[in-house]
């Protein structure tokens, strides 16, 4: 579920075409701000996936997550209608702010009439746990259900944890991914931090000015290889490892040398016993802020050494904006498709190389190749750094 298309085929086609989903924000009034653009999913209706009553019991985050989970199940060739309880299937969903639109509505009511003016249904719909439970309720998932609010790295966390559940025997199948709806709070917050661009996102470009707030949801179906093959499915990629580290530096600024980012990438490679030389592509966090892209470049060069400037790197945030908790889930989906289809999507907005980011940034056209090992980076507030290593199916 993204601003450039929803469902595997429309999403992937738009990425390969280098389309941008950035447009004037319609979800809220931006007249007080100097920036008016973001990445919204236009025309979304939850009704193909939820009854009106079910949809009304959720926030937009839960609705988007249910839709993404339904699309993932259908793409995997699994039933996506309401089904019987399945204790083998779990749900692991990441988010940055959860049902933040519900919180924003509650905050308006609070400002106008005090705490007593906040509707009980807003309190019921706000907690992040409702997103995971909403997916479980819709698709009958009776295995483990977790919500992992690790901000902009949350999708990576959820996919890595979901894979751990399968390896550890806690679940046979996991719906894993991330979600965040468009947020006025995030808009105001990132503007206050002077992290936002005004017109477009230009990851790793010398003229980059910042990120853009966006919304989205991405969900993958994780299964053991044997189980997928046994039912005739064609897996896209294998989850090899999730590397995690912390900058322990600043709540909102990356370590200037990308220390935590490099540590996360190295940990993923170590856990998978994968030599850096075997990595064919890096799907970057690439927010388009001067500090993040500079730090991530330093981290990539540190991990890959002399080969660093030649590893193909792309960032989807030029096309999608920053979808927060959904970002790394959507990026993992794209990375899986890169492995499966042999194409790296271009970095929308990248035009002028930056000497501070001496990377091989894929731009203009998709780049064909054999991509058997892909690292997908995601970094978050709190210095939470993650790197998901995906591989071709052996």
**What amino acid positions are annotated as catalytic residues?**
152, 285, 322
Instruction: Give the pair of three-digit tokens for residue 275.
Output: 């030599």
C-alpha–C-alpha distance, residues 52 and 58, integer Å: 10
* 16 versus 246: smaller Cβ distance to other proteins: 246
For 134, half-sphere exposure in the C-beta direction (CA atoms, 13 angstrom radius) is 35
Instruction: Tell me how far, at minimum, the Cβ of 55 lies from other proteins, in Å.
Output: 17
C-alpha–C-alpha distance, residues 107 and 196, integer Å: 24
CA separation, residue 218 to residues 19, 67, 81, 313, 348 (Å): 18, 9, 18, 21, 20
Instruction: Tell me how far, at minimum, the Cβ of 167 lies from other proteins, in Å.
Output: 9
* 20 versus 146: smaller Cβ distance to other proteins: 146
* 137 versus 201: smaller Cβ distance to other proteins: 137
What H or E segment, with its residue span, contains residue 158? helix 154-167
Q: Cβ atoms within 10 A of the Cβ of 192, count?
A: 9
Q: Would you tell me the crossing angle of helices 327-341 and 8-17 to the nearest 10 degrees? A: 80
CA separation, residue 239 to residues 9, 14, 82, 220, 387 (Å): 21, 24, 28, 11, 11
Query: What is the strand order of the sheet 373-380 is part of?
Result: 238-246, 384-391, 373-380, 281-283, 312-314, 360-361
* 9 versus 123: smaller Cβ distance to other proteins: 123
C-alpha–C-alpha distance, residues 340 and 1, integer Å: 20
Q: Cβ atoms within 10 A of the Cβ of 353, count?
A: 15
Instruction: Tell me how far, at minimum, the Cβ of 73 lies from other proteins, in Å.
Output: 14
Instruction: Give the pair of three-digit tokens for residue 260.
Output: 């935590």
C-alpha–C-alpha distance, residues 303 and 278, integer Å: 12
* 165 versus 304: smaller Cβ distance to other proteins: 165
Name the CA dihedral angle for 219, 44, 134, 328, rounded to a multiple of 10 degrees: 30
C-alpha–C-alpha distance, residues 349 and 363, integer Å: 8
Q: How far is CA 84 from the centre of its chain?
A: 29
* 136 versus 343: smaller Cβ distance to other proteins: 136
Instruction: Tell me how far, at minimum, the Cβ of 197 lies from other proteins, in Å.
Output: 17
Instruction: Tell me how far, at minimum, the Cβ of 69 lies from other proteins, in Å.
Output: 13
Instruction: Tell me how far, at minimum, the Cβ of 166 lies from other proteins, in Å.
Output: 12
* 153 versus 344: smaller Cβ distance to other proteins: 153
Contact 379, 285 (CB under 8 A): yes
Q: Cβ atoms within 10 A of the Cβ of 23, count?
A: 14
Instruction: Tell me how far, at minimum, the Cβ of 129 lies from other proteins, in Å.
Output: 4
């Amino acid at each position: 579920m993204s601003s450039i298309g929803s469902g595997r085929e429309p999403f992937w086609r738009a990425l390969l075409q280098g389309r941008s989903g950035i447009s004037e924000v319609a979800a809220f009034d931006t007249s007080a701000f100097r920036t008016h653009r973001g990445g919204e999913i236009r025309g979304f209706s939850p009704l193909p996936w939820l009854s009106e009553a079910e949809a009304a019991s959720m926030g937009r985050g839960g609705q988007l997550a249910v839709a993404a989970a339904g699309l993932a199940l259908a793409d995997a060739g699994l039933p996506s209608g309401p089904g019987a309880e399945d204790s083998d299937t779990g749900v692991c969903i990441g988010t940055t702010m959860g049902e933040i639109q519900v919180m924003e509505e509650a905050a308006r009511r609070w400002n106008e009439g005090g705490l007593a003016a906040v509707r009980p249904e807003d309190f019921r719909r706000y907690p992040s746990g409702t997103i995971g439970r909403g997916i479980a309720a819709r698709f009958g998932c009776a295995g483990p259900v977790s919500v992992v609010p690790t901000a902009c790295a949350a999708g990576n966390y959820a996919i890595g944890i979901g894979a751990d559940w399968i390896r550890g025997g806690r679940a046979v199948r996991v719906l894993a991914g991330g979600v965040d709806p468009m947020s006025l709070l995030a808009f105001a917050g990132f503007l206050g931090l002077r992290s936002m661009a005004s017109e477009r996102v230009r990851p790793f470009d010398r003229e980059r000015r910042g990120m853009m707030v966006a919304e989205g949801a991405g969900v993958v179906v994780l299964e053991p290889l044997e189980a997928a093959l046994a039912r005739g499915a064609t897996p896209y990629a294998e989850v090899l490892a999730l590397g995690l580290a912390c900058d322990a530096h600043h709540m909102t600024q990356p370590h200037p040398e990308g220390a935590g980012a490099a540590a996360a990438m190295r940990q993923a490679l170590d856990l998978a016993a994968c030599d850096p030389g075997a990595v064919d592509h890096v799907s970057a966090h690439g927010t388009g802020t001067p500090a993040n892209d500079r730090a991530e470049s330093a981290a990539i060069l540190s991990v890959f050494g002399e080969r660093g400037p030649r590893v193909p790197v792309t960032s989807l945030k030029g096309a999608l904006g920053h979808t927060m908790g959904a970002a790394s889930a959507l990026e993992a989906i794209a990375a899986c498709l890169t492995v499966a289809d042999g194409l790296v999507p271009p970095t929308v907005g990248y035009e002028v190389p930056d000497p501070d980011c001496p990377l091989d940034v894929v731009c203009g056209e998709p780049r064909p190749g054999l991509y058997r090992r892909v690292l997908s980076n995601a970094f978050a507030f709190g210095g939470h750094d993650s790197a998901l290593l995906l591989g071709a199916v052996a």
